[in-house]
Amino acid sequence: MKLRRSERMVVISNYLINHPYELTGLNTFASKYQTAKSSISEDIVIIKRAFEEMEVGHIETITGAGGGVIFKPSISQEESLQIGEELREQLSASDRILPGGYIYLSDLLSNPILLKSIGRIIAKTFQDEPIDAVMTVATKGVPLANAVANVLNVPFVIVRRDLKITEGSTVSVNYASGSSSRIEKMFLSKRSLPAGSRVLIVDDFLKGGGTIRGMISLLDEFDSSLAGVAVFADNAQVKREAFDYRSLLRVTKIDVDAMRVDVELGNIFTESMNEVTE
Protein backbone atom coordinates (compact mmCIF):
# COMPACT_ATOMS: atom_id res chain seq x y z
CA MET A 1 0.00 0.00 0.00
CA LYS A 2 1.33 3.41 -0.99
CA LEU A 3 1.23 6.00 1.79
CA ARG A 4 2.33 9.60 2.19
CA ARG A 5 5.42 10.25 4.32
CA SER A 6 3.42 11.55 7.26
CA GLU A 7 1.11 8.51 7.18
CA ARG A 8 4.04 6.17 6.73
CA MET A 9 5.70 7.50 9.84
CA VAL A 10 2.56 6.87 11.85
CA VAL A 11 2.28 3.25 10.73
CA ILE A 12 6.01 2.54 11.05
CA SER A 13 6.07 3.89 14.58
CA ASN A 14 2.96 1.83 15.35
CA TYR A 15 4.75 -1.27 14.04
CA LEU A 16 7.87 -0.61 16.10
CA ILE A 17 5.87 0.05 19.29
CA ASN A 18 4.09 -3.29 18.85
CA HIS A 19 7.31 -5.19 18.07
CA PRO A 20 9.84 -4.09 20.70
CA TYR A 21 13.29 -5.72 20.80
CA GLU A 22 12.68 -7.21 17.36
CA LEU A 23 15.06 -6.62 14.46
CA THR A 24 13.12 -5.41 11.41
CA GLY A 25 14.88 -4.88 8.08
CA LEU A 26 14.20 -1.59 6.28
CA ASN A 27 13.31 -3.65 3.20
CA THR A 28 10.30 -5.01 5.08
CA PHE A 29 8.93 -1.48 5.45
CA ALA A 30 10.04 -0.51 1.93
CA SER A 31 8.10 -3.32 0.29
CA LYS A 32 5.13 -3.02 2.66
CA TYR A 33 4.70 0.68 1.90
CA GLN A 34 6.05 0.65 -1.67
CA THR A 35 8.74 3.21 -1.01
CA ALA A 36 12.49 3.40 -1.56
CA LYS A 37 14.63 2.12 1.29
CA SER A 38 16.29 5.54 1.45
CA SER A 39 12.93 7.17 2.23
CA ILE A 40 12.30 4.63 4.99
CA SER A 41 15.74 5.48 6.37
CA GLU A 42 14.75 9.13 6.57
CA ASP A 43 11.44 8.22 8.23
CA ILE A 44 13.32 6.22 10.85
CA VAL A 45 15.57 9.19 11.63
CA ILE A 46 12.54 11.34 12.39
CA ILE A 47 10.80 8.62 14.44
CA LYS A 48 14.03 7.99 16.37
CA ARG A 49 14.36 11.69 17.22
CA ALA A 50 10.72 11.96 18.31
CA PHE A 51 10.97 8.84 20.49
CA GLU A 52 14.18 10.05 22.08
CA GLU A 53 12.95 13.59 22.72
CA MET A 54 9.84 12.23 24.46
CA GLU A 55 11.83 9.39 26.08
CA VAL A 56 9.43 6.84 24.62
CA GLY A 57 12.43 4.65 23.81
CA HIS A 58 15.48 4.20 21.61
CA ILE A 59 15.76 2.97 18.05
CA GLU A 60 19.01 1.17 17.33
CA THR A 61 20.19 0.81 13.76
CA ILE A 62 22.11 -2.30 12.79
CA THR A 63 23.94 -1.75 9.51
CA GLY A 64 24.99 -4.28 6.88
CA ALA A 65 23.26 -7.28 5.37
CA GLY A 66 20.70 -8.70 7.78
CA GLY A 67 20.59 -5.32 9.50
CA GLY A 68 17.63 -3.12 10.33
CA VAL A 69 16.17 -1.33 13.30
CA ILE A 70 15.33 -2.39 16.86
CA PHE A 71 13.01 -0.40 19.11
CA LYS A 72 13.77 -0.55 22.84
CA PRO A 73 10.98 1.03 24.90
CA SER A 74 11.87 3.27 27.80
CA ILE A 75 10.17 5.69 30.17
CA SER A 76 11.28 9.11 31.33
CA GLN A 77 12.53 9.63 34.88
CA GLU A 78 9.73 12.16 35.37
CA GLU A 79 6.90 9.88 34.20
CA SER A 80 8.37 6.96 36.11
CA LEU A 81 8.48 8.91 39.39
CA GLN A 82 4.97 10.23 38.82
CA ILE A 83 3.66 6.67 38.47
CA GLY A 84 5.66 5.55 41.50
CA GLU A 85 4.12 8.34 43.54
CA GLU A 86 0.61 7.52 42.28
CA LEU A 87 1.09 3.85 43.22
CA ARG A 88 2.49 4.84 46.63
CA GLU A 89 -0.59 6.92 47.37
CA GLN A 90 -2.95 4.20 46.22
CA LEU A 91 -1.17 1.53 48.25
CA SER A 92 -1.32 3.74 51.34
CA ALA A 93 -5.15 3.82 51.31
CA SER A 94 -6.46 2.44 54.58
CA ASP A 95 -9.19 0.33 52.96
CA ARG A 96 -6.53 -2.00 51.53
CA ILE A 97 -5.71 -3.51 54.91
CA LEU A 98 -7.06 -7.01 55.30
CA PRO A 99 -7.33 -8.97 58.55
CA GLY A 100 -3.94 -10.46 59.38
CA GLY A 101 -2.07 -7.45 58.01
CA TYR A 102 -2.31 -8.40 54.36
CA ILE A 103 -2.73 -5.72 51.72
CA TYR A 104 -5.23 -5.94 48.87
CA LEU A 105 -3.36 -5.42 45.60
CA SER A 106 -5.51 -7.05 42.93
CA ASP A 107 -7.13 -3.85 41.64
CA LEU A 108 -3.76 -2.22 40.97
CA LEU A 109 -2.48 -5.35 39.24
CA SER A 110 -5.48 -5.58 36.93
CA ASN A 111 -5.45 -2.06 35.52
CA PRO A 112 -4.02 -2.22 31.95
CA ILE A 113 -2.64 1.33 31.82
CA LEU A 114 -0.94 1.00 35.23
CA LEU A 115 0.45 -2.42 34.30
CA LYS A 116 1.90 -1.08 31.05
CA SER A 117 3.71 1.66 32.96
CA ILE A 118 4.94 -0.78 35.62
CA GLY A 119 6.19 -3.07 32.85
CA ARG A 120 8.15 -0.21 31.28
CA ILE A 121 9.65 0.84 34.63
CA ILE A 122 10.80 -2.69 35.51
CA ALA A 123 12.08 -3.37 31.97
CA LYS A 124 14.08 -0.13 32.03
CA THR A 125 15.63 -1.09 35.38
CA PHE A 126 17.05 -4.27 33.82
CA GLN A 127 17.75 -2.85 30.36
CA ASP A 128 21.45 -3.71 30.51
CA GLU A 129 20.84 -7.38 31.35
CA PRO A 130 20.29 -9.92 28.59
CA ILE A 131 16.94 -11.52 29.44
CA ASP A 132 15.43 -14.56 27.68
CA ALA A 133 12.32 -15.06 29.80
CA VAL A 134 10.33 -13.59 32.68
CA MET A 135 9.32 -16.02 35.43
CA THR A 136 6.61 -15.67 38.05
CA VAL A 137 4.47 -17.78 40.33
CA ALA A 138 0.70 -18.19 39.88
CA THR A 139 -1.61 -16.32 40.26
CA LYS A 140 -1.03 -12.73 41.29
CA GLY A 141 2.38 -12.42 39.67
CA VAL A 142 1.06 -13.32 36.21
CA PRO A 143 -0.21 -9.88 35.09
CA LEU A 144 3.04 -8.28 36.27
CA ALA A 145 5.22 -10.84 34.48
CA ASN A 146 3.02 -10.45 31.42
CA ALA A 147 3.48 -6.66 31.47
CA VAL A 148 7.27 -6.91 31.75
CA ALA A 149 7.45 -9.63 29.08
CA ASN A 150 5.36 -7.44 26.74
CA VAL A 151 7.95 -4.66 26.94
CA LEU A 152 10.96 -6.99 26.62
CA ASN A 153 9.20 -9.13 23.99
CA VAL A 154 10.26 -12.40 25.63
CA PRO A 155 8.02 -15.27 26.80
CA PHE A 156 6.96 -15.52 30.41
CA VAL A 157 6.85 -18.77 32.36
CA ILE A 158 4.39 -19.45 35.12
CA VAL A 159 5.41 -21.57 38.10
CA ARG A 160 2.46 -23.27 39.78
CA ARG A 161 1.79 -24.19 43.37
CA ASP A 162 -0.38 -27.10 42.29
CA LEU A 163 0.02 -29.87 39.77
CA LYS A 164 -2.07 -29.61 36.61
CA ILE A 165 -2.40 -32.38 34.07
CA THR A 166 -2.51 -29.86 31.25
CA GLU A 167 1.12 -28.89 31.87
CA GLY A 168 2.65 -32.26 30.93
CA SER A 169 5.89 -33.34 32.63
CA THR A 170 6.94 -30.97 35.37
CA VAL A 171 9.94 -30.35 37.61
CA SER A 172 9.23 -29.57 41.23
CA VAL A 173 11.21 -28.02 44.08
CA ASN A 174 10.43 -27.48 47.75
CA TYR A 175 10.16 -24.00 49.17
CA ALA A 176 9.42 -22.35 52.51
CA SER A 177 5.97 -20.81 52.17
CA GLY A 178 5.19 -17.29 53.43
CA SER A 179 6.57 -16.06 56.70
CA SER A 180 5.87 -19.47 58.23
CA SER A 181 8.46 -22.11 57.62
CA ARG A 182 5.93 -24.54 56.19
CA ILE A 183 7.50 -26.46 53.33
CA GLU A 184 5.51 -26.67 50.10
CA LYS A 185 6.14 -27.60 46.49
CA MET A 186 6.18 -25.53 43.32
CA PHE A 187 6.03 -26.93 39.79
CA LEU A 188 7.20 -25.84 36.36
CA SER A 189 6.37 -27.56 33.09
CA LYS A 190 9.55 -29.12 31.65
CA ARG A 191 9.01 -27.67 28.22
CA SER A 192 8.31 -24.14 29.34
CA LEU A 193 11.94 -23.01 29.78
CA PRO A 194 14.89 -23.95 27.49
CA ALA A 195 18.22 -24.74 29.18
CA GLY A 196 20.65 -21.82 29.35
CA SER A 197 17.97 -19.14 29.70
CA ARG A 198 18.69 -15.91 31.56
CA VAL A 199 15.59 -15.24 33.61
CA LEU A 200 14.09 -12.19 35.28
CA ILE A 201 11.92 -13.21 38.24
CA VAL A 202 8.90 -10.97 38.92
CA ASP A 203 6.42 -11.18 41.79
CA ASP A 204 3.78 -9.06 43.43
CA PHE A 205 4.83 -8.93 47.08
CA LEU A 206 8.09 -9.93 48.77
CA LYS A 207 7.71 -10.92 52.39
CA GLY A 208 9.73 -13.88 53.59
CA GLY A 209 11.40 -14.41 50.23
CA GLY A 210 10.67 -18.15 50.26
CA THR A 211 8.72 -18.10 47.01
CA ILE A 212 11.48 -16.28 45.18
CA ARG A 213 14.16 -18.56 46.64
CA GLY A 214 12.03 -21.46 45.35
CA MET A 215 11.98 -19.99 41.84
CA ILE A 216 15.76 -19.43 41.98
CA SER A 217 16.26 -23.11 42.85
CA LEU A 218 13.99 -24.03 39.92
CA LEU A 219 16.36 -22.09 37.64
CA ASP A 220 19.14 -24.48 38.69
CA GLU A 221 16.97 -27.45 37.78
CA PHE A 222 16.48 -25.95 34.31
CA ASP A 223 20.22 -25.14 33.89
CA SER A 224 19.20 -21.51 33.67
CA SER A 225 20.48 -18.44 35.45
CA LEU A 226 19.07 -15.45 37.28
CA ALA A 227 19.12 -12.07 35.50
CA GLY A 228 17.39 -10.25 38.37
CA VAL A 229 14.44 -10.09 40.75
CA ALA A 230 11.75 -7.39 40.61
CA VAL A 231 8.75 -7.09 42.90
CA PHE A 232 5.81 -4.71 42.97
CA ALA A 233 6.14 -4.17 46.72
CA ASP A 234 8.26 -5.46 49.58
CA ASN A 235 7.87 -5.37 53.31
CA ALA A 236 10.95 -3.82 54.87
CA GLN A 237 10.20 -5.43 58.24
CA VAL A 238 11.79 -8.65 56.97
CA LYS A 239 15.54 -9.07 56.96
CA ARG A 240 17.56 -8.32 53.84
CA GLU A 241 17.27 -11.30 51.55
CA ALA A 242 19.94 -13.67 50.31
CA PHE A 243 19.29 -12.33 46.82
CA ASP A 244 19.37 -8.85 45.40
CA TYR A 245 16.02 -7.44 44.30
CA ARG A 246 14.39 -4.27 43.07
CA SER A 247 10.98 -3.08 44.22
CA LEU A 248 8.63 -0.31 43.11
CA LEU A 249 7.22 0.20 46.58
CA ARG A 250 8.38 -0.54 50.10
CA VAL A 251 5.86 -1.09 52.89
CA THR A 252 7.52 0.10 56.08
CA LYS A 253 4.67 -0.40 58.53
CA ILE A 254 1.26 -2.06 58.64
CA ASP A 255 -0.88 -1.11 61.65
CA VAL A 256 -4.06 -3.19 61.46
CA ASP A 257 -5.67 -1.54 64.53
CA ALA A 258 -5.16 2.01 63.30
CA MET A 259 -5.91 0.83 59.70
CA ARG A 260 -2.70 2.42 58.50
CA VAL A 261 -0.10 1.41 55.94
CA ASP A 262 3.15 3.34 55.54
CA VAL A 263 4.56 3.08 52.05
CA GLU A 264 7.74 4.51 50.53
CA LEU A 265 9.09 4.44 47.00
CA GLY A 266 11.16 1.28 46.48
CA ASN A 267 14.80 1.02 45.42
CA ILE A 268 13.90 1.02 41.70
CA PHE A 269 13.27 4.76 42.11
CA THR A 270 15.78 5.63 44.81
CA GLU A 271 18.68 3.89 43.06
CA SER A 272 17.91 5.36 39.67
CA MET A 273 17.70 8.79 41.30
CA ASN A 274 21.16 8.23 42.78
CA GLU A 275 22.48 7.50 39.34
CA VAL A 276 21.15 10.81 38.12
CA THR A 277 22.66 12.87 40.95
CA GLU A 278 26.03 11.11 40.96
Question: Is 134 or 226 the residue whose CB approaches a second copy more closely?
Answer: 134
Selected binder of a second copy within 127, 189, 198, 213 (CB under 8 A) = 189
- Minimum CB separation of residue 191 from a second copy in Å reads 7
- Minimum CB separation of residue 161 from a second copy in Å reads 9
Among the residue ranges 163-171, 229-237, 243-251, 270-278, the one whose residues contact a second copy (CB under 8 A): 163-171
Cβ(185)–Cβ(172) below 8 Å: yes
DSSP code per residue over 124-162: HHTTTS--SEEEEETTTHHHHHHHHHHHHT--EEEEBSS
Give CA angle at 129 (128, 135), nearest 5°: 140
Question: Is 110 or 274 the residue whose CB approaches a second copy more closely?
Answer: 110
What residues numbered 3-62 form the site for a second copy, per CB under 8 A?
A: 3-11, 13-14, 17-19, 22, 46-47, 49-51, 53-54, 56
Q: Where are the beta strands (DSSP E) in the chain?
A: 57-62, 68-73, 97-98, 102-103, 133-137, 156-159, 170-177, 182-189, 198-206, 225-235, 246-255, 260-265
CB count within 10 Å of CB 231 equals 26
- Minimum CB separation of residue 70 from a second copy in Å reads 14
Q: Is 82 in the site for a second copy (CB under 8 A)?
A: no
- Minimum CB separation of residue 261 from a second copy in Å reads 14
Q: Is 72 in the site for a second copy (CB under 8 A)?
A: no
- Pick the closest to residue 28 from 11, 52, 4, 51 (CA basis): 11
Among the residue ranges 23-31, 97-105, 217-225, 270-278, the one whose residues contact a second copy (CB under 8 A): 97-105
Among the residue ranges 79-87, 103-111, 243-251, 261-269, the one whose residues contact a second copy (CB under 8 A): 103-111
Q: Is 224 in the site for a second copy (CB under 8 A)?
A: no
Give all strands of the β-sheet with 198-206 in edge-to-edge order: 156-159, 133-137, 198-206, 225-235, 246-255, 260-265
Gap between the Cα atoms of 147 and 63, Å rounded: 30
- Minimum CB separation of residue 54 from a second copy in Å reads 5
- Minimum CB separation of residue 61 from a second copy in Å reads 16
227 contact partners, CB below 8 Å, separation of at least 6: 126, 129, 130, 131, 198, 199, 200
Cβ(164)–Cβ(262) below 8 Å: no
Selected binder of a second copy within 80, 192, 197, 224 (CB under 8 A) = 192
Q: Is 154 in the site for a second copy (CB under 8 A)?
A: yes
Gap between the Cα atoms of 154 and 64, Å rounded: 25
Question: Is 22 or 271 the residue whose CB approaches a second copy more closely?
Answer: 22
Q: Is 260 in the site for a second copy (CB under 8 A)?
A: no
- Pick the closest to residue 266 from 242, 243, 246 (CA basis): 246
Contact residues toward a second copy (CB under 8 A) are 1, 3-11, 13-14, 17-19, 22, 46-47, 49-51, 53-54, 56, 98-100, 102-107, 110-113, 115-116, 138-140, 142-143, 146, 149-150, 153-158, 160, 162, 165-168, 189, 191-192, 205
